[in-house]
Amino acid sequence: MLSFSLPWIFIALPLPLLVYFLIKPKPQPQLSALKVADNQGFPVANESVASKSSFKLVASSLVWMLLILSSAQPMWVGEPITQPTQARELILAVDLSASMQEDDMKLNGRYVDRLTMVKSVLRDFIEKRQGDRIGLILFADNAYVQAPLTFDLTTVQTLLDESFLGLVGQRTAIGEAIGLAVKRFDNKKDSNRVLVLLTDGENTAGSITPEQALELAIAKDITIYTIGVGSDNNRQFGFFNRSSGVDETSLTNIALATNGKFFKATDSDELEEIYQQLDALEKIEANEETMRPQNALFYWPLGLALLIVGLMMIQTLIQERK
């Protein structure tokens, strides 16, 4: 069927008539004229002027109507198509606290900070999640939903790339991140409820402890895969040691309590293993998505209006050259 995105624009159709009746014409000065008793000598001229005036009026009116029609954005809407969808649903929780700035991670032969390693790890991970619904939580002093569960993996990747250390604080609220993920999953009636937590595992902030959040996750049957970010080999800078290790015990306990698993971000073999385990998760039936194909038609009246304007310009140029 035919539909219009902006049907209210049709209100402007009678605008030229309103201008015609509301604005009074400027009075013409009285000029002396030669009175002729018989004007039969000028019939062709009179008919020609009247014909040109009528053509311009009809053409201008048609152009106006076509422009209004085009501005209303007409489109042809096809029959509804219902498609059942299947997908895994995963939430990524990424630590942006100050401890993630330690440059103790080796990537492509050089040392980088932990957040850079996380982005590198997740780039390949997200790319392999085609067909899955992914959400993104960023946390430090508090936890925030940066991207709700979505099939738009490009946007999730962009939002992750644009994140930076200190964006949401300096400390680490792991409990807040898990609690927020539980809340987001709680809104989903049918979900396999998988949370992938990437952090150095040292909880230092938040109104809810990791243990309390873990109880909520267990109650809601949420599986948590934890990925520790941090090197076991401390880097030495003169007499000072700047690097802090990963709290593997805490992250392992969180994962095992929810039937998940703990992984190290520096181990490519174990990262490949988490890909395989997540691929093995059974896809769930999501809500059916109904779509109706739409074909834009605005360019047809717009093109016809431009054609008429072009013909009027050509006619004017021809008359001026005569």
Give, in order, the Cα–Cα distances in Å from 244 to each of 187, 201, 302.
Answer: 37, 11, 65
Of 37-46, 127-136, 155-164, 218-227, minimum mean pLDDT range: 37-46
Strand-by-strand arrangement of the 223-228 sheet: 143-150, 133-139, 89-95, 194-199, 223-228, 262-264
Q: Compute the residue count for the chain.
A: 322
The tokens 């049918």 sit on which residue? 190
Rounded CA-CA distance 251/253 in Å is: 5
Q: Mean pLDDT for the chain?
A: 76
Q: Which CATH superfamily is domain 86-285 in?
A: von Willebrand factor, type A domain (3.40.50.410)
Judged against a pLDDT cut of 80, whether residue 287 lies above it is answered with: no
User: Do 90 and 196 meet the contact criterion of CB atoms below 8 Å apart?
Assistant: yes
Name the range with the highest mean pLDDT among 33-42, 101-110, 153-162, 309-318: 153-162
Cα angle: 49, vertex 51, 56; to 5 degrees: 95
14-48 CB burial, b ≥16 within 10 A, e <16:
eeeeeeeeeeeeeeeeeeeeeeeeeeeeeeeeeee
Residue 169 token pair: 């604080």
Q: Quick check: pTM over 0.75?
A: no
Over residues 5-21, the pLDDT tens digits come to 888 999 988 888 887 77
Instruction: Identify which has the larger pLDDT, 160 or 21.
Output: 160
Domain ranges for the chain, please list them. 2-25+43-79+292-321, 86-285
